[in-house]
């Protein structure tokens, strides 16, 4: 089994992105699955293009994209992607879309196809705060989740896809207001491992059930 993990480059004036850093800390195999790591640009549209190229090259069984949610106190496993680009902050290419569709030929929304509740539970079982989220926002994080699920719907229906938001890394909070939450990168990486394990377990269960029929 092959799992693709993606992380975004730094954005919004930050010198690092904890999503990319944590993905980079993952071992080459987790729960028996091969891990492929991909860096994505924090740019509307281009991120989806890079992801599609990587998926067609690597042919993974599942893709988990990871992004930064600064100001959150725990790991967020996203359940929904909406067909909307709308932001007050520009992406790394200077784009600042308002009321724009991610895909004109796509539905209003998609649901993640990974076991989101089991992923949250698995992370919490490791003593790491985690929550189920029903909004990935309208920035590039939502954009990539929608693009991923649209790709799955059009080309790879057997592939699973989802998105995880992670807090600021502890070192990012040094110059931020008092009380700004952060998390150690090693803890974030451990949370990702637990999430991957839940995905692998669920997919293996599906294979077994098919074989038993």
Residues near 87 by beta carbon (within 8 Å), at least 6 away in sequence: 96, 97, 98, 138, 139
- Catalytic site residue from 65, 141, 150, 193: 141
Q: Is 65 a catalytic residue?
A: no
- Catalytic site residue from 21, 65, 78, 193: 78
Residues near 130 by beta carbon (within 8 Å), at least 6 away in sequence: 74, 75, 76, 77, 119, 120, 123, 124, 191
Q: Is 141 a catalytic residue?
A: yes
- Catalytic site residue from 21, 65, 165, 193: 165
Q: What is the DSSP letter of 116?
A: H
Instruction: Return the structure tokens found at 64.
Output: 């988990």
> How, if at all, do strands 33-40 and 62-68 pair?
unpaired
What length does the chain have?
A: 213
Q: Is 150 a catalytic residue?
A: no
Using left for φ > 0, alpha for ψ between -120 and 50, and beta otherwise, residue 18 falls in: alpha
Q: Show which residues are catalytic.
A: 78, 141, 165
């Amino acid at each position: 089994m092959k799992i693709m993990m993606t992380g975004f480059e730094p954005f919004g004036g930050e010198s690092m992105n904890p999503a990319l850093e944590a993905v980079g800390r993952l071992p080459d195999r987790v729960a028996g699955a091969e891990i492929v790591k991909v860096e994505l640009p924090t740019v509307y549209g281009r991120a989806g293009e890079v992801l599609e190229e990587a998926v067609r090259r690597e042919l993974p069984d599942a893709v988990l994209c990871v992004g930064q949610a600064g100001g959150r106190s725990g790991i967020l496993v996203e359940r929904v992607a909406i067909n909307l680009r709308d932001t007050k902050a520009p992406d790394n290419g200077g784009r600042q879309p308002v009321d724009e569709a991610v895909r004109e030929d796509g539905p209003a929304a998609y649901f993640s196809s990974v076991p989101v509740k089991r992923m949250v539970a698995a992370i919490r079982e490791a003593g790491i705060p985690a929550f189920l989220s029903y909004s990935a926002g309208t920035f590039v994080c939502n954009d990539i989740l929608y693009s991923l699920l649209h790709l799955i719907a059009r080309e790879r229906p057997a592939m699973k896809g989802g998105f995880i938001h992670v807090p600021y890394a502890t070192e990012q909070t040094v110059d931020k207001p008092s009380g700004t939450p952060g998390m150690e990168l090693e803890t974030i990486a451990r949370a990702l491992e637990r999430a991957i394990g839940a995905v692998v377990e669920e997919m293996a269960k599906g294979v077994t059930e098919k074989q038993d029929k």
